[in-house]
Structure 1
Amino acid sequence: MTIPTPPPGLPRTAGELRASGHAPRSVKAELRANLLTALRSGRALWPGIVGFDRTVLPQLERALIAGHDVVLLGERGQGKTRLLRSLVELLDEWTPVIEGSELGEHPLQPITPASRRRAAELGDDLPVAWRHRSERYVEKLATPDTSVGDLVGDVDPVKVAEGRSLGDPETIHFGLVPRAHRGIVTVNELPDLAERIQVALLNVMEERDIQIRGYSLRLPLDVLLVATANPEDYTNRGRIITPLKDRFGAEIRTHYPLEVEDEVALVRQEADLPAEVGDHLLEVIARFVGHLRESSAVDQRSGVSARFAIAAAETVSAAALHRAAITGEHPAVARPVDLEAVPAVLRGKIEFEAGEEGREDELLGYLLRRAVADTARGLFAGLDLGPLAQAVADGHPVATGERVSGHDLLTALPELPVLHQVAERLDVRAGDPPGRIASAVELALESLFLAKKLGKDAEDDRSVYS
């Protein structure tokens, strides 16, 4: 990550900073002021966060205004980490620090013995550096091997070897939390921390000091501590100890997108799609994921991550590109037949309930067909597809598959007004590439098959509607 260069004209000594009228404020006061300013101006605060506008975000905003440390509780893949990373945008773009200080202390409020000594010796000549807000956010993934030294600090044997005594507070090598002084600390998967390690955070959160190897340093740390966790009834690896949980001012539950449109928007935003995937297919994927999240056969304690929907869209796009390479079709456009690649590729991303062994493929296939039917029912509501079914039944079977191009699929059918109506429902125009029109027509054919108005037979590496 490239750190921007501070703008010219900023104060470079403590005296200049004091003369400019700069007043120190805590990181929580800074977040509160900047958040309220943004709310008053109507500025978008949470870029890239989808589906939380009326639920999670108002709760988070109130917690920040209250000055609370926050823990986000939710299943995997709900955007918890991404949401917390966006908090950095609420910090001041530039903040003054004592140049060379280990903890990034404010020039007018030094807290370590070394910085206090320098401030006393240099007075108004104490050099000032400017730190960008991106440098004031630190993140730690909690793992069972995380130590107190990693988070809080430990005695540095090198400093002891230099001749300092063990009782000298300057022999300490500070951990991640003190080094985040005047910033934001995120601990991902907090329950994975061993309970004795969680205990080390108690003083940081309440008394705002740290204890290392038998002596206490009264360092008035200024940090916002935020964390993520899976609900305790899911994770078997640990829990948040009760005293630590009590110290978080706000516990906010996250969730998966509640509306199909939100899931589609999220996938469109996050997925890397080398071939064109229409919104109708993304809607199928969104509904498929929604059905999985409601299925009693799927372990809902582990959840069905939003990453599943993103990976599914990327798989469909890859299948379309693969077919285009074989058939020479250009541009590559995904069709409903490409959805068949999703269950086989992504089956391992879902945890099923005990007793469902051997039925996984059957379940995934059923829910995918149901998602296709639901999507087609909504898109073609009020449209009579009978002429299309009649045309196929009157001797115009239509083949689809990995080796069937969109042009081949369309030429198997006679000119029918209903085909134009089908295309219009999916915002496809007559002058669009054949692959795009074929994708719309194939969805109509698949809906007729699922409604048992057409047959569908497998022939080698293709399927034939008849």
Structure 2
Amino acid sequence: MTDRPDIYTVGELRAAGYVQKDLRHEIRDNLLAALASGRDPWPGLFGFSRTVIPQLERALIAGHDIVLLGERGQGKTRLLRTLAGLLDEWSPVIEDSELNEHPFDPITEQSRARALTEGDRLRVAWRHRSERYVEKLATPDTSVADLVGDVDPMRVAEGRRLGDPETIHYGLIPRSNRGIIAINELPDLAERIQVAMLNVMEERDIQIRGYVLRLPLDVLVVASANPEDYTNRGRIITPLKDRFGAEIRTHYPIELEDEVSVIRQEGQLVADVPPFILEILARYTRALRQSPAINQTSGVSARFAIAGAETVAAAALRRASLRGEDHAVARIIDLEPAVEVLTGKIEFESGEEGREQGILDHLLRTATAESVRAHFQGLDMGPLVAALDGHRTVTTGEQVTAKEFLGNLPSLNGSGLYDEIGRRLGAENDGQRAAAVELALEGLYLGRRISKESDDEETIYG
């Protein structure tokens, strides 16, 4: 963050040559400057670079209000929050102005009177760009007063007449003047509340209890919503949809690498989770989104895979604490119990009652098999299969440490297979090597080359 400008009055601001811009020009100029310099104006967003981002950039350059449509967990809110990065880092306002008015262009009667009286001595304050982004979660109990404003009975009781603008308590949208207001889940607003936004978005004035205040508000309205074709909670009324200049559809990551990047960025992992575990979770999430047994209109949020990675990491840390391991590393054995606690994040089709766990287990095995093929293709696992000759088994489990697991592996007579398995997965310590070999054993089981028996305590390959 750069230092706040050392300017405190309108006179100093003019002397410094400050150029006033409206909000849309400010955003447009900063976006175009970022694109021209090669700087990414959308940090932390994956999978949108060829689809959503170009549409969003065109809308902002055109100066449009924007609504993002998409299922849950597609990054709509994160995308809206990055818009604040397109604002000037510091912007001047009239000190103590309720509506953040520009020192060169006061819009309320009170600020105009101050500007006339004080002239170049009018005090200037500075707002950081983070203060100019306001977010509101739409709920059915949101009122017109919350968004637009209402008459303040306390000010009327003080003796002001009812039509006096100073009796108005401004709502969130006027208070966002010269900034961005984001409304999440817009269809959840009652239709009469949406009607109250029409004048704000088109005529840029506000109407409160029969009084029309001509306030040339300079505000960018952005919103998120689920597609109307399945939501049962509400809809965006047609006149309000018409006020938004751009309607942009979001989507889940198309590429596997983007899905993994989202998990890695958003997950708060308390232990080492090897990349191939994150990859399995990403493949699993994508398989759920394609399964006819899952209600796809509800969507499978990116939060599913993120929560899965966090739970797997927690299981590894728990094992390390209980068994005294120095380094907590997640393994294949941690995946299945972690997925069990995430079932509530998925909605199944109505005809799948009683089959839910079987469907989830099948898709997890499919995702694991895909990762095995991706990493071990062309690797001869024959020595390991031969070592498990019906008399020798390998035991693992939630309470089995990496050293115990590795020490229980059969000797392969110097074939170097274990080293190659670890090398292919970038293993650097015992925990990562154990995780890599566990994946190989699970792959052999899924390929029906060895057997597996599991209970609550342990899993035996042989």
Match of 1:7 among 4, 9, 13: 4
TM-score normalised according to structure 2 size = 0.97
Give the superposition deviation at 1:123.
Answer: 1.7
Flag as ranges the 4+ runs of structure 1 deviating above 6 A.
none
Q: What letter matches 1:423 in structure 2? A: G
Give the superposition deviation at 1:267.
Answer: 0.8
CA distance in 2, matches of 1:6, 1:424: 49
- Could you say which residue in structure 2 is the equivalent of 1:414? 411
Q: What letter matches 2:372 in structure 1? A: A
Q: What letter matches 1:422 in structure 2? A: I
- Could you say which residue in structure 2 is the equivalent of 1:55? 51
CA distance in 2, matches of 1:434, 1:16: 65
Corresponding residue pairs, total? 459
Deviations 1:119-139 (A, max 9, x none): 112222211111111111111
CA distance in 2, matches of 1:420, 1:96: 62
Tell me the secondary structure at the aligned position of residue 355 of structure 1: helix
Q: Name stretches of at least 5 consecutive residues in structure 2 with no aligned partner.
A: none
- Contact 1:343–1:361 (Cα < 8 Å) also in 2: no
- Could you say which residue in structure 2 is the equivalent of 1:286? 282
Tell me the secondary structure at the aligned position of residue 42 of structure 2: coil
- Contact 2:319–2:399 (Cα < 8 Å) also in 1: yes
CA distance in 2, matches of 1:117, 1:404: 76
Deviations 1:47-90 (A, max 9, x none): 21122111111111111111010001111111111111111111
- Could you say which residue in structure 2 is the equivalent of 1:325? 321
Q: Name stretches of at least 5 consecutive residues in structure 1 with no aligned partner.
A: none
Give the superposition deviation at 1:6.
Answer: 5.3
- Contact 2:260–2:279 (Cα < 8 Å) also in 1: yes
- Could you say which residue in structure 1 is the equivalent of 2:457? 461
- Could you say which residue in structure 2 is the equivalent of 1:447? 443
CA distance in 1, matches of 2:29, 2:362: 52
RMSD (Å) for aligned C-alpha atoms:
1.4
Question: Structure 1 459/294 Cα, relative in aligned 2: closer, same or farther at 3 Å?
Answer: closer
Q: What letter matches 1:25 in structure 2? A: K
TM-score normalised according to structure 1 size = 0.96
Match of 1:46 among 42, 48, 56: 42
Q: What letter matches 2:369 in structure 1? A: A
Deviations 1:216-270 (A, max 9, x none): 1110000000000011123211000011001111111111111111111111111
CA distance in 2, matches of 1:178, 1:393: 75
CA distance in 2, matches of 1:144, 1:208: 24
- Could you say which residue in structure 2 is the equivalent of 1:113? 109
Match of 1:183 among 170, 179, 182: 179
CA distance in 2, matches of 1:333, 1:127: 58
- Could you say which residue in structure 2 is the equivalent of 1:209? 205
CA distance in 2, matches of 1:343, 1:134: 37
Deviations 1:87-118 (A, max 9, x none): 11111111111111110100110101111111
Q: What letter matches 2:81 in structure 1? A: R
**Matches for 1:385-400 after TM superposition, within 5 Å:** 385-393=381-389, 395-400=391-396
Tell me the secondary structure at the aligned position of residue 352 of structure 2: coil
- Contact 2:4–2:126 (Cα < 8 Å) also in 1: no
- Contact 1:6–1:130 (Cα < 8 Å) also in 2: no
Q: What letter matches 1:42 in structure 2? A: G
- Could you say which residue in structure 2 is the equivalent of 1:103? 99
Q: Does 1:140 align with 2:136?
A: yes
- Contact 1:304–1:350 (Cα < 8 Å) also in 2: yes
Q: What letter matches 2:452 in structure 1? A: K
